[in-house]
Chains A and B, each alone.
Chain A
Amino acid sequence: MLLYVTRRIVYVIPIVICVALVCFLLVHITPGDPLVAVLPADASQELANQLRAAYGFDRPLPVQFGLWLWRAVNGDLGNSIATGRPVLAEVIRAVGNTVTLAIAAAAIGFSLGLLFGLIAGYFRDTWVDKLATGFAIAGVSVPHYWLGMVLVIIFSVELNWLPAVGAGPGGSGAWSWDWEHFRYLILPAITTSVIPMGIVTRTVRALTGDILSQDFVEALRAKGLRELDVFKHVIKNAAPTALAVMGLQLGYMLGGSILIETVFSWPGSGLLLNSAIFQRDLPLLQGTILVLALFFVILNLLVDIAQAAIDPRIKRG
C-alpha cells in the first residue's frame, strides 16, 4: 500500500509541473501589455520600463517561469497588480468561501444522487426509475447559472424569502454557520448541487443495475438473505466507483464555481477569477488558476488512494 501511495505521488509531480507551465503560459498568450492594468495612460516610457523590470517581465520566458515556479513553491505567488496585496493570501481567503459552498452543495447533491441512483437502479424500468433518470438528465443538462437566476426570481424576487446575492453580513471574510449567514448559502448551494446530483444518480443507477444482475446476488438471495442485507452487498460493491465519481465532482465544484459565484456574487475563488480576468490582473489570474488546478490534482490523488484502500480488487503493486 505504501509503495502504491509513493508511486502515485511520484507520478503526480510531472503533472504538477506541467500544470504550472500551462498556468504560466496562459498569461503569455494574452494579447497586449501585462502592465496595462496598472500603468496610467499617460505614463512615460521610462516608468513603463521601470515597472516592467519590477515585475520581472523584461527577462526571457524560461527564466521568468523558473523564477515564478521557485517562488510559487516557496508560497509566494506575487502581488496582485490591481490591489498590490499578496496573491496567495487573497486566493486562500476566497477559496475558503468556495469550499463552504462546495461542501454544502456536495451534501445536497451527493445524498440526493445516492438516494435516487440506488432507488432507480433497484427498481429498474419502473416509473420510479424513469422519474429519477429524468431528474438526473435535467440536472446535467440545465445551464446552472440560469437555474440560479430562476431560483433568485422565485425565492428572492417573487416570494422574498431568501437573499439574492452576497454571503451575509460582514462580507467575504466573516462567514459563520448561523442562520443569518446560512440563508445566503441556500440558493447558491442548491444551484451548485444539480450537476453532481445528476451525475451521481446516473453512475449509481448503472452500478446498482450491474451489480444486481451478477450471479453472486442470486446466490445471496438463494441462501435466504433478507433483501436489506442483499442491499448492503450492493452498496459495498458500488462504493469504490461511486466514491471516485463523487471526488471528481467535488473537484469540479471547487474549480468550476465561477459562473454560480458570479450569479450570486458569492465571494469565492470564482468571483476572484472573474475580477482578475476583467481587471486584467495577470498575477492574480495565474495564481488563482494554479491554486484551483492544484486542488483538483491533489483531490484526484486522494480519491485514487482512497479507492485503492477500500477496494481490494485494485492492484496496489
Chain B
Amino acid sequence: MSEFPLPAISEPALQAAPATKARGYWATVGRRLLRDKVSMACALILIAIFLSALVAPWLHLADPYQGSMIRRLRHIGTIGYPLGTDELGRDMLARLIYGGRLSLIVGISPVILAFCIGTMLGLVAGYAGGKVNTVIMRAVDVFYAFPSVLLAIAISGALGAGIVNSIVSLTVVFVPQITRVAESVTTGVRNMDFVEAARASGAGPFTIMRVHILGNVLGPIFVYATGLISVSMILAAGLSFLGLGTKPPEPEWGLMLNTLRTAIYVNPWVAALPGVMIFAVSICFNLLSDGMRSAMDIRN
C-alpha cells in the first residue's frame, strides 16, 4: 500500500554530513512533529483531557453521582454549576470530567488490543506467506464483508450490554483492518536485502521478525492505529448511546448523550455537551495522526 511509506528503511542519518551530529530517524520525526502547530495544539488538548480525567478526584469537583430533584436541568452558566446540571440534577462539569475516564478507556483500549493482535497476525501472514497467509487473510476478508458499525453493534447486541463486551466487539472490528495494513507492509519489507542477509547468516524466522522486520513495520501500523482511535471513540460512545455499553449511573459521554436526549426540549444545549467532548477527542486524534503521517514522510 503506497499510502503507508516505509520510512525506517531509508536511513537519513547515514547520508548526513559527517561534521554535523547524525540524528536518528525517530529524532527527526519528533522534531518535525514538534514544529507542526496543529499537531501540538491537538496534543495539548488531549493531554489536558487525559490529565483532568486522571486526577478528577483531586480537582474538588461536585459529586458526579449526587443528584437533586430541585436543581434539575440548570442552564449553562448558572452560579455554582458552570456547565449546568443534567436530567437528575447532577453537576455537568463534574460528570464530563469524570466521564472521560470510562469513555477514554473504552474508546482507546480496543485499538491498543487490536494493534497488538493485528500486528502479530499481519506479521506472521506477511512473513510466512503461502498457506498461512491465505488462511489469515481470507478470514480477514470475511470480517471486511460487514460494515464496521454493523459488526460492532451485532457483536455487542449478541453479547449484551457492558463495558467489557463493548471493548471485545470493537477489538474484533479493528483487528482485521490492522492485520491488513501489517500484512501489506510486512510483505514489502520481507524481500529486502537485509532480511535475506539475516536469513543467510542463520537467523531463525522468529529472530528475523522480531529484530529485522518489526522495527521497520511498526511505524506505519502505529500511525494507522492512531487514526483508528477517532473511529473507536465515536463507535464506543455510540454503543453506550444505544444502551449497549456502560450502564447508568456511571458517567460516560455516550450514555450521557442518551439520557440527556429526553431533555432537549427543556435545556437543549446542556444535552449537547457530552458530544462536544467526543468530537474534541476524535478530531484531535485524527489531526495528530495526519501530522504524524506527514512528519514520517521524510521524502517531502
Contacts and interface: CB of A to CB of B under 8 A. Distances in A.
Interface of A: 14-16, 18-19, 22-23, 26-27, 29-31, 137-138, 140-147, 149-150, 152-153, 157-158, 251-252, 254-256, 258-259, 262-263, 273-274, 276-278, 285, 289, 292-293, 296-297, 300
B154 interface: yes
Nearest to A297: B145
Given A27-B158, A141-B282, A146-B272, A252 B149 contact: yes
Contact of A292 (B142, B150, B287): B150
Contacts of B279: 141-143, 146
Contacts of A141: 230, 234, 279, 282-283, 286
Contact of A256 (B148, B242, B257, B269): B148
B157 A143 contact: no
B238 interface: yes
9 contacts: A26-B158, A143-B237, A143-B275, A158-B268, A255-B146, A262-B242, A273-B153, A292-B147, A292-B150
Nearest to B285: A141
Nearest to B148: A256
B125 interface: no
Contacts of B148: 252, 256
Nearest to A27: B158
A101 to B, nearest CB: 14
Interface string B145-165: 111111001110111100000
Interface of B: 138, 141-143, 145-150, 153-155, 157-160, 230, 233-234, 237-238, 241-244, 257, 261, 264-265, 268-269, 271-272, 274-275, 278-279, 282-283, 286-287, 290
A259 to B, nearest CB: 5
Nearest to A296: B147
Nearest to A299: B147
Given A14-B138, A143-B282, A145-B257, 11 more contacts: A15-B145, A26-B155, A137-B283, A138-B283, A141-B283, A142-B279, A142-B282, A145-B241, A255-B150, A256-B150, A258-B150
B238 A29 contact: no
B230 to A, nearest CB: 6
B165 to A, nearest CB: 10
B242 A252 contact: no
A22 B154 CA distance: 10
Contacts of A292: 147, 150
Contact of B146 (A16, A19, A137): A19
B141 A15 contact: yes
A95 to B, nearest CB: 13
Contacts of B153: 258, 273, 277
Nearest to B147: A255
Contacts of A14: 138
Nearest to A133: B290
B146 A149 contact: no
A247 to B, nearest CB: 12
A164 to B, nearest CB: 8
A267 B271 CA distance: 24
B269 to A, nearest CB: 7
A14 B141 CA distance: 10
B159 A143 contact: no
Given A141-B286, A153-B272, A277-B157, A289 B150 contact: yes
A5 to B, nearest CB: 19
Contacts of A274: 242
A300 B86 CA distance: 44
B160 A31 contact: yes
A251 B147 contact: yes
Given A137-B283, A256-B149, A258-B150, A153 B242 contact: no
A19 B143 CA distance: 8
Nearest to A144: B234
A289 B274 CA distance: 30
Nearest to A198: B286
A285 B157 CA distance: 9
8 tightest A-B CB contacts, nearest first: A146-B275, A256-B149, A255-B147, A277-B157, A141-B283, A153-B268, A18-B142, A255-B150
Contact of B150 (A29, A158, A293): A293
B150 A143 contact: no
